[in-house]
Amino acid sequence: MNQEDKVNILLVDDQPGRLMSYDAILSVLGQNLVHARSGTEALQKLMEGDYAAILLDVNMPGMDGFETATMIHQHPRFEKTPIIFVTAVHVTDLDQLKGYQLGAVDYVYVPVVPEILRGKVEVLVELYRQRRELERLNRRLAEANEDLADANAALQAEKARELEALNATLAQANSELGQANRTLQAEVAERERAQEALEAADRRKDDFLAMLSHELRNPLAAIQGAIELMHRKAIDDTQLVWARDVLSRQNRHLSRLIDDLLDVSRITMGKLTLHKEPVELRDVLQHAVETARPLVELRRHNLTLRLPDAPLHVKGDAVRLSQVVCNLLTNAAKYTDEGGHVELTLEYEQGRDGHGDAIVKVKDNGRGIGKDVLDRLFEPSTHEERLNSGAHGGLGIGLIVVRGLVQMHGGSVEARSEGAGRGSQFTVRLPLLSTEEFKMTVAPTRDPLPAAAAAAPAEENALRILVVDDNQDSACSMTLLLELQGHQVNVAHSGQAALQLAGQCNPDVILLDIGMPGMNGYEVAKHLRSQPAFADTLLIAVTGYGRASDVKQTESAGFDHHLVKPIDYDKLQSLLEARSSRRTGSAEAVVSLEGGAAE
């Protein structure tokens, strides 16, 4: 890019470190980045040239960002120069309104997300260039009009009729050019509005799904706790046993729907991360069968599993691949009449490119799928389409997740059916690891099945546990379950109460909810970790938020583990057993050392 084609971008911040970070983020745009360390210096820089955009820190000593913006836009030359405010603290709606009234086009919060900042500045640079080009065209038009006026004066005497015709032509040309300019300006403005609306819609959708997940998981956690408690108590009434099992199945179903909804959103926005490693597909299929078995047995289906003798390895995420197979098995079980047949097969097939493929087939003799539905089976559908299809009902998000996860593994999925009432077959094709690739990356040993719930610990293994949750039903059910296991449990329903109670009871383990009013779980964890007495306390986040960013945030706050509501009580039991064993082992070591000294 020529120097004369570059535009100026003014970066105003009193902190040199931030100016350097802005340089690093925006240097790829190839523009002139001008620094100012204060509002006064920014005004001086503005008098020296034109700027496409101003990145302005709100909190500066002396003249702050709002005052600087006021001074800038009071000058006629800079009243239309766009300003992006940068702030490290959350600003109120009134402050935001004040900023927009002063001419701000947007806010950016610290820590700055490079892609977002770069995108915003790039749009403003492009708009500035287009305005500059428009001004150049207008100047050329003015010059052309002057030349035509001179020609008109010279020829006026001799060619009056021709000149009138020429003036009419020029008037029409000017009108068309003016209309073209207005159209261009409207298109630029509309494109900018559409881009902003799209970004805002994506943010709102992501935030809404996260909040929806959190709000749904809280009551599900309380229900799951009550169900777990009923499982651990002897119930003689067969109707109550039936009701408990119905609640358990439906609670798992609701939890899975929430997970599928979030997975669809993450896949669509490209935010789902796979933890790929060499995976043995026979283990994946067996794990999926065990997960889907309760529904298969409930429907009294005959499930046949056909696995090859030799292992088949792919590079993938074992958990997500198991989710793919489990979703297909669950669909087959749901949409096959009771007493039906479901067949799961794993085969090897030589690929067209010389590499081998793993073929996973899920076949049933259920309701089948109409030909008009097959083509859009893996796409979102309306409620009316689901009702009229006569085939697979529900939201259909499970199949959308299947397609997304398979494609992320470099594979493909297809569905076949001879029509309604004639069953269906889903085929997943995954590229296999070659022998050389497998030798280079040896897959770690995995336990395909979750550990069974342990019995109540011995008295010497019992832990002091603090349960912190503003949802009293969730806290109560968790407390009853832990006390049933023999642990000593205290309960707090707010962050402040948790800090006070932790100092009194000195817990070994703290189960801490995140989304509490007032002081949230992150703040509580940071307060605890800042005190030496809780440096070794096991902190477990129990929350309805399960995004990757949420897990990172709990790690940063000092949590040891992150459990998503409704939690897996077997996993919680394993964590508690590990902490109990660690404490017991330390005690035994002390006794042994003391005994040696005595001798």
d(CA 265, CA 206): 7
Closest to 22 (Cα-Cα) out of 130, 116, 90: 116
d(CA 36, CA 360): 61
579 alpha-carbon distance from chain centroid: 31
Q: Report whether 508 contacts 583 (CB < 8 A).
A: yes
CA quadruple 297, 299, 301, 307: dihedral sign? negative
Q: Report whether 108 contacts 117 (CB < 8 A).
A: yes
523 alpha-carbon distance from chain centroid: 22
- How many CB atoms are located within 10 Å of the residue 298 CB? 12
Please report which helix (H) or strand (E) contains residue 11, including its range. strand 8-12
Q: Is the N-terminal amide bond of 76 cis, ω within 30° of 0? A: no
* Residues contacting residue 340 through CB under 8 Å, at least 6 positions apart: 299, 301, 302, 364, 365, 366
Can you list the alpha helix ranges (DSSP code H) found in 232-339? 238-268, 281-298, 318-334
Residue appearing with tokens 């395909």: 448
In one-letter notation, the amino acid at residue 384 is: E
**The pair of three-digit structure tokens given for residue 214, joined into one six-digit string:** 């959190």
d(CA 119, CA 125): 10
In one-letter notation, the amino acid at residue 427 is: T
d(CA 422, CA 366): 7
d(CA 565, CA 523): 20
**The pair of three-digit structure tokens given for residue 168, joined into one six-digit string:** 């009419």
DSSP secondary-structure letter at 588? H
d(CA 404, CA 409): 9
The secondary structure of 328-383 as a DSSP string is: HHHHHHHTS-TT-EEEEEEEEEE-TTS-EEEEEEEEE-SS---HHHHTTTTS---H
117 alpha-carbon distance from chain centroid: 19
Closest to 521 (Cα-Cα) out of 558, 552, 487: 558
d(CA 485, CA 479): 10
Residue appearing with tokens 């059910």: 477
d(CA 482, CA 558): 23
* Residues contacting residue 383 through CB under 8 Å, at least 6 positions apart: none
Residue appearing with tokens 């060499």: 278
Task: Give bridge partners of residue 141 from the DSSP assignment.
Answer: none
In one-letter notation, the amino acid at residue 323 is: Q
- Which pLDDT does position 1 carry in this prediction? 64
What's the burial of 28, exposed, middle or buried (CB within 10 Å: 0-12/13-18/19+)?
A: exposed
- β-pair type (538-543, 561-564): parallel
Residue appearing with tokens 């398979």: 406
How far is the CA of 18 from the CAs of 29, 63, 99, 260, in angstroms? 18, 18, 21, 40
Q: Model pTM?
A: 0.46
- Which pLDDT does position 450 carry in this prediction? 39
**The pair of three-digit structure tokens given for residue 511, joined into one six-digit string:** 């189960």
What's the burial of 182, exposed, middle or buried (CB within 10 Å: 0-12/13-18/19+)?
A: exposed
CA quadruple 375, 415, 249, 486: dihedral sign? negative
How far is the CA of 327 from the CAs of 261, 397, 400, 409, 429, in angstroms? 13, 10, 10, 16, 16
**The pair of three-digit structure tokens given for residue 207, joined into one six-digit string:** 């935030």
In one-letter notation, the amino acid at residue 413 is: V
d(CA 408, CA 389): 28
Question: ∠ at Cα 491 (489, 492), nearest 5°?
Answer: 155
What domains can be seen in the chain, in order of their start residue? Answer: 3-158 (3.40.50.2300), 278-440 (3.30.565.10), 459-596 (3.40.50.2300)
* Residues contacting residue 49 through CB under 8 Å, at least 6 positions apart: 8
Q: 316: helix, coil or strand? A: strand
Question: ∠ at Cα 361 (356, 362), nearest 5°?
Answer: 165
Q: Going from the first residue of the chain to its last (599 residues), give the mean pLDDT of each consecutive group of 10, the final group possibly shorter.
A: 80 92 91 92 90 90 88 85 83 70 76 89 89 89 87 79 86 90 90 84 71 72 79 80 76 70 69 83 91 88 92 89 90 90 92 78 90 76 43 60 90 90 92 71 43 48 90 83 89 92 92 89 94 93 83 93 86 90 54 32
DSSP secondary-structure letter at 47? T
**The pair of three-digit structure tokens given for residue 210, joined into one six-digit string:** 């996260």
d(CA 78, CA 72): 6
d(CA 478, CA 226): 8
**The pair of three-digit structure tokens given for residue 21, joined into one six-digit string:** 């970070």
d(CA 402, CA 325): 8
d(CA 46, CA 54): 10
Residue appearing with tokens 């287009």: 130
- Which pLDDT does position 103 carry in this prediction? 63
